[in-house]
Structure 1
Amino acid sequence: MASKVELVVEVKSSADKMWTALRDSTELFPKIFPEYKSIETVEGDGKSVGTVRLIKYAEGVPLATFAKEKVEVADDENKVVSYSVVDGELVSFYTNFRVTVQVTPTTKDGADAGAVVNWTMVFDKTSEQVPDPDVIKETAAITFHSLDDYLLKN
């Protein structure tokens, strides 16, 4: 039976700015986050459904040295992207590992007030001994907050 983990992060950056940064993560993340050694597109155009990206993590990142992810949903209009991890250390711990990210604008008194990032991870453990991927959720939270800080300064 699949397990589901959800995370909601409020950011000060506009939904458009946050979404653009997330969609440009192949180039942007290795520049601003030391835990990403590199991200390269190995199939597709880097953004649309069917794209496969190879992510290499820096030494010391828990659980993984690399991951290959395949884009399953890419909906720019609704600011939703979903990808499955198809290779790397994570697949030996979790099967059907899929992450979905949606960015929704927020308003206050009719004005743009930033955005909410909804992050959902669905997975099946390969065995009961495998721990929940809490570190991945924690890393996602840190990444969204750090990306927001970066966008507010640039």
Structure 2
Amino acid sequence: MYRVLSCLKVNGGTPGCVILWKYTHDGKPKSCKQIITELDAAKKSTTYKVIEGDLLQEYKTFTFILKVEPKGQNNLVTWTLEYEKLNEQIDDPNGMMDTVMAVCKDIETYYLK
């Protein structure tokens, strides 16, 4: 099970901003430090590159791309995960998509209060 425990932003939400995520996966505490490498307000897109943490124990590179598209009165959020495995025995990060979905649901719940 995935659950985001905390997120600490340093230097605001701009390129170069470092974000630390702490979460639990399969009952074990995990962490992920990301840096915002690209922020495009016109395209409503943000790119986060993993620079430290548990993901880099299995992947050479790992990048999250967030894009928001207006759909009527709502927004469609698309996450893209780009990664390079350390070796072919490593599984695809399907579970990380579950984490991303949990985060989106938590954010939605917060804003719909």
The interval holding the TM-score normalised by the smaller chain is 0.7 to 0.9
1:133 lines up with 2:99 in the alignment: no
Q: Deviations over 1:80-114 (max 9, x none)?
A: 1111111111111012210100111112xxxx2x0
Could you say what the CA RMSD is over the residues aligned between the two structures, in angstroms?
2.1
1:61 partner letter: H
* Greater gyration radius: 1
**Structure with greater strand percent:** 2
Q: Deviations over 1:45-77 (max 9, x none)?
A: 2211111122222xx424761111011111223
Structure 2 residue runs without a partner (length 5+): none
> d(CA) in 1 for partners of 2:57 and 2:99?
20
Using the size of structure 2 for normalisation, the TM-score is: 0.84
> d(CA) in 1 for partners of 2:92 and 2:8?
27
Secondary structure in 2 matching 1:65:
strand
Partner of 1:31: none
| Count of aligned residue pairs for this structure pair | 111
Contact map agreement 1:94 1:124 (CA 8 A) in 2? yes
> d(CA) in 1 for partners of 2:60 and 2:29?
15
1:86 lines up with 2:46 in the alignment: no
Greater RCO (CA < 8 Å, at least 6 residues apart) = 1
Partner of 2:31: 66
* Percentage identity across paired residues of the two chains: 28
> d(CA) in 2 for partners of 1:126 and 1:39?
27
Partner of 1:55: 21
Q: Which runs of 4+ in 1 moved over 3 A?
A: none
Structure 1 residue runs without a partner (length 5+): 1-33
Contact map agreement 1:64 1:90 (CA 8 A) in 2? no
